[in-house]
Amino acid sequence: MMRLDDNDDDVSLFDAEEDTGRGKSKKTKIKHPVASFFHLFFRMSAILVYLLCELLSSSFIACMVTIILFLSADFWTVKNITGRLMVGLRWWNQVDDDGKSHWVFESRKGNSKQLVSDSESRIFWLGLVVCPIIWVFFVFSTLFSFRIKWLAVVIMGVVLQGANLYGYVRCKVGSRTNLKNMATNYFGRQFLKQTMTNQEES
């Protein structure tokens, strides 16, 4: 039996919009350049090896192992290091003494949120969202081109990078809201802004 444990101090997925009116400007410089580099390095390397594997090597096994190693290194790095340093979020699974599995999602609380750099936050979320979409595209291209031997590799890319995406979105959403409500509120605000803009123009 699994239970979801969420932090009580939720933060929004759309920091750029909601922080503009707070009066406190966050630093935009990259404070963790090494973490930012490796946040993108492993996942982009896995994608490049997949795209160029036939040019780099004639061995399917060598390419597959290389891609899986990059994906595994990316999963561990993003889950345990870059999420905590770049955006102040972390998630993990733990088993208690009764043998029950708990999923824990945490975000940085209080004034410590101000330590997050806008530049690092954009790099983190851009890499976290775009790369799983690319692997989903690879799944469909593999099916349509009948490259069935690569199907297991691209599915592993979707699963590993999708797991990190889901975990960190849960950290951002927290326990008081869910993904559906968050998306509804966001698009509702966009619709209201567009309506008010049209009224002003008319």
pLDDT at 158: 94
Region 176-187: mean pLDDT is: 54
pLDDT in tens, 120-155: 888 999 999 999 999 999 999 999 988 888 999 999
**71-104: buried (b, 16+ CB within 10 Å) or exposed (e) per residue?**
bebbbebbbebbbbbbbbbbbeeeeeeeeeeeeb
